[in-house]
Structure 1
């Protein structure tokens, strides 16, 4: 009987909004590219569109679970990073555990065959990596392997071709050196924003899988850099904090005050094929809005905010802040139906037949930084949406907890999802 050796899965997500500079152009150095394979263009009928419903379902399931566990805390994560990593890992897992993973990621396998899921991720990642003048998106995976571990050719080829994975050999007996190698790789790939992702490694570890996402963009309409002033942000009925607020004075924006729900929704576009939805519940109505946060509601808001009627002049206030989220996925995903991977029943023999692998831990960390070319808000009274006199402009104040979703518009994918409850807590 083989001894159990451990696989550690680490995920790092990052949303970085630069402060007025153009993001650096994407370079593919070190990434495995398969240019000899023709990847279909984005658009109607593209393979990635088949996985969007599943990815969205997973994103919102994950959000609702975290929100139920920490109702009064900030939330921020990258559903795409998690989905891509576990879909890739499923290549090395035998059924029924493989089916369990894919269904836990939100996919209906009677409607979307497994092969379409992997081709969909291949196309999605390829599309995200297309260079843009004002937008940089980097999503990638890396496997750190012990020198004696031999991967099965099919897993190695498929993870490289479909998910653009890279492979590194390292001596896990040298835990300090291995930890430094992994953390340096993640730090480099996220432009220095995510550091010390892993702090310890078990001595029986033979493989570490890392997935990361890096997003750097400029607002289509940046905020004035010298307008920030400390203002009140109402965390809850008993807590008020001071945050630097910025103003966009009387510019046209896409926004609406929902007729049927107690919230306002703002769309802010990036330079490039990405956009953000900021959802501001009325005071005390966060739970009510969260209850209707569904794929259908996101589509409804996105559809409405393409109508010219909702493109109007607005005084806009959003806080300048930085928040992060760290999650132990081995404790969260079993509650979403992915249980075998973190227990003995999982069969990972399609990765290697040398050892009996078991997934020991799975971590995810994401950071959101919002500055002058990102989102900023101003202090306000208890009202978030104020109607002024007829000869003046309306004003939208993000001075209390709100939701944020970052989308890639050409892939229709949620890159990041979160809730800002206290912008002073990182």
Structure 2
């Protein structure tokens, strides 16, 4: 795992813990890389304490944080790859950035060039001052088209108004088929235990075969790697206990978890697997969560965004994020507009992996373990 992928993972770990504080026992799904990209776009125009706070929350690698403003920083190597032409792949992956500026607002040429060079985002002129509602709808339609109609109305009515001068947007969409497909005839009704006292009947997919796996006894968790065709995988972290998600996150550090989302650390094992079919949508206003993580100046009058414009009083007024995922027998469709020693247990000939209670999951690129999406399933 390279430094930038590790930074995204660490940020995602922090964010998941923060979301769980307010979304207790609710399904969670978001794109860490989408959120990181948008915040990095803002960070390129920040300075002083504002920039330092953003670097800390985003876990920007140290060599990057001391780089000059004209150099490439943070996520850049992975962004270049993600924004490259994905044609010829066995999956569909689109990541697009947008920059929408009020026509009377002067954005520094240096910033425009930098965002274009590093994030492939062109500055599009809009009329927030006189026609904010129409412009909001246009931006939402652009996001909707990028995400194949899965992300609708990222910007809610009234979220962009006459005081808005700049909107930075990242949209990400993924659709892929499993390398080993589940047979629909093996999908049966099963019981999912949402809590120790609550359960529901769901559609449970099943399959037997060889998969990358580890049983982590010290943090009471099993890890399963489910590959899609080519370079994307789903990693499932299944706690041993029904209510074990929070305990898992309290015991497992980012460094520890990053070692187990890399397939090289998992063992090829015969598995009898059952996982639920599920679909979920999630929407978050991230401003308060980012503040709690330490990114405070960005949203206050002392924000230093002098690298974007010389206009005084620039602040970020909102950070909105929406995400969608559907997992079925064929594969997955997803969209968003975002060292402790551990022993591996001795394994029997065939290991059961029954995901019949809340678990954490990641969609990652196998080549660099970059987290495209992350979620926690509490109720299919």
Q: Shorter-chain TM-score: which interval?
A: 0.7 to 0.9
For residues 299 and 183 of structure 1, the distance between their equivalents in structure 2, rounded to whole angstroms, comes to 34
Superposition deviation, residue 123 in structure 1: 1.9
The match for 2:113 is: 157
Q: 1:233 aligns with which of 192, 195, 198?
A: 192
The DSSP-based 3-state class of the residue aligned with 1:183 is helix
**Deviation per CA, 1:254-310, whole angstroms, max 9, x where unpaired?**
22322323221111111121222101111233332121332322243245x5368x3
Query: Does the CA contact (< 8 Å) of 2:45 and 2:305 recur in 1?
Result: yes
The match for 1:33 is: none
For residues 231 and 37 of structure 2, the distance between their equivalents in structure 1, rounded to whole angstroms, comes to 20
Q: TM-score, normalised by structure 1?
A: 0.78
The DSSP-based 3-state class of the residue aligned with 1:118 is coil
Superposition deviation, residue 110 in structure 1: 6.3
Superposition deviation, residue 354 in structure 1: 4.3
Q: Name whichever structure is richer in helix by fraction.
A: 2
1:65 partnered with 2:18? yes
For residues 246 and 166 of structure 1, the distance between their equivalents in structure 2, rounded to whole angstroms, comes to 43
The match for 1:258 is: 216
Q: How large is the Cα RMSD of the aligned pairs? A: 2.5
Specify whether residues 394 and 50 from structure 1 end up closer, same or farther in structure 2 by C-alpha distance, changes over 3 A only.
Answer: closer
For residues 61 and 117 of structure 2, the distance between their equivalents in structure 1, rounded to whole angstroms, comes to 24
The match for 1:322 is: 279
Specify whether residues 422 and 130 from structure 1 end up closer, same or farther in structure 2 by C-alpha distance, changes over 3 A only.
Answer: same
The DSSP-based 3-state class of the residue aligned with 1:96 is helix
Specify whether residues 422 and 221 from structure 1 end up closer, same or farther in structure 2 by C-alpha distance, changes over 3 A only.
Answer: same
In structure 2, runs of 5+ residues without a counterpart are: 333-346
Q: 2:321 aligns with which of 333, 347, 364?
A: 364
1:279 partnered with 2:237? yes
Superposition deviation, residue 359 in structure 1: 1.4
The DSSP-based 3-state class of the residue aligned with 2:19 is helix
Query: Does the CA contact (< 8 Å) of 1:60 and 1:293 recur in 2?
Result: no
For residues 307 and 110 of structure 1, the distance between their equivalents in structure 2, rounded to whole angstroms, comes to 27
For residues 178 and 168 of structure 1, the distance between their equivalents in structure 2, rounded to whole angstroms, comes to 11
Aligned residues: 360
Specify whether residues 307 and 199 from structure 1 end up closer, same or farther in structure 2 by C-alpha distance, changes over 3 A only.
Answer: closer
The match for 1:5 is: none
The match for 2:183 is: 224
The match for 2:288 is: 331
